[in-house]
């Protein structure tokens, strides 16, 4: 399975909004808002829809912060590949609220709960929260991170 997905981090000053995922892939972990891009959607449209579904807010200004590849292997075979566009937003409409998918919680940028997140997050999220753009490729074998590369992308404007 190859899927196109999104991740969004809402920012308020020195705080970032994470969700505690209540179901599906990554259940029990903190993450950004996001999910799969549906047929006919752009990644931007998908991430706005996911924010409305998961926490009831509508981002009104998105800043693209990078592309991540997650390769999941089981017993040496590639089971799934996820291409994930990453965004941050400092402007949105609505107040974050809990849904059946996610419980939102604000964290100080210097106090992100990396021990309760995907193993790769500590390798690239600090860069994104520092205002930069990244490309990363992460290979998981039986859900453990085995190999990775992370590049800083050049700022073009």
Ligand X SMILES: Nc1ncnc2c1[nH]c(=O)n2[C@H]1C[C@H](O)[C@@H](COP(=O)(O)OP(=O)(O)OP(=O)(O)O)O1
For position 66 contacting ligand X by CB under 6 A, the verdict is no
Q: Is 5 in the site for ligand X (CB under 6 A)?
A: yes
**Contact call for residue 56 and ligand X (CB under 6 A):** no
Least separation in angstroms between residue 84's CB and ligand X is 5
For residue 19 the two structure tokens come to 């969700």
47 binds ligand X (CB under 6 A): no
DSSP string covering 42-105:
-HHHHHHHHHHHHHS-EEEEEEEEEEEEEEEEETTEEEEEEEEEEEEEEEEES-----SSEEEE
Among 30, 118, 124, 148, indicate the residue that binds ligand X (CB under 6 A): 118
Size of interface with ligand X, in residues (CB under 6 A): 15
- φ/ψ of 24, rounded to 5, equals 75, -160
Q: How far is the CB of 144 from ligand X (least distance, A)?
A: 11
Q: With CB under 6 A as the contact rule, which of the stretches 20-28, 89-97, 108-116, 122-130 interacts with ligand X?
A: 20-28
C-alpha distances out from residue 43 to 18, 31, 54, 155, Å: 19, 17, 16, 20
Among 34, 43, 66, 104, binds ligand X (CB under 6 A): 34
Give residues in contact with ligand X (CB under 6 A): 5-7, 24-26, 31, 34-36, 70, 82, 84, 118, 140
């Amino acid at each position: 399975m190859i899927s196109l997905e999104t991740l969004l981090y809402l920012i308020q000053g020195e705080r970032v909004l994470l969700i505690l995922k209540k179901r599906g892939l990554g259940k029990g972990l903190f993450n950004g808002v996001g999910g799969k891009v549906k047929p006919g959607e752009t990644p931007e449209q998908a991430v706005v829809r996911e924010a409305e579904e998961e926490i009831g807010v509508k981002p009104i200004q998105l800043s693209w912060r990078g592309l991540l590849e997650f390769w999941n292997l089981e017993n040496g075979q590639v089971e799934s590949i996820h291409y994930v566009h990453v965004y941050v937003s400092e402007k949105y409409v609505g107040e974050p609220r809990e849904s059946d998918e996610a419980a939102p919680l604000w964290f100080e940028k210097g106090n992100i709960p990396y021990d309760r997140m995907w193993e790769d997050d500590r390798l690239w999220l600090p860069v994104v929260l520092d205002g930069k753009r990244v490309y990363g490729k992460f290979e998981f074998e039986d859900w453990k991170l085995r190999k990775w590369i992370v590049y800083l992308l050049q700022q073009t404007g």
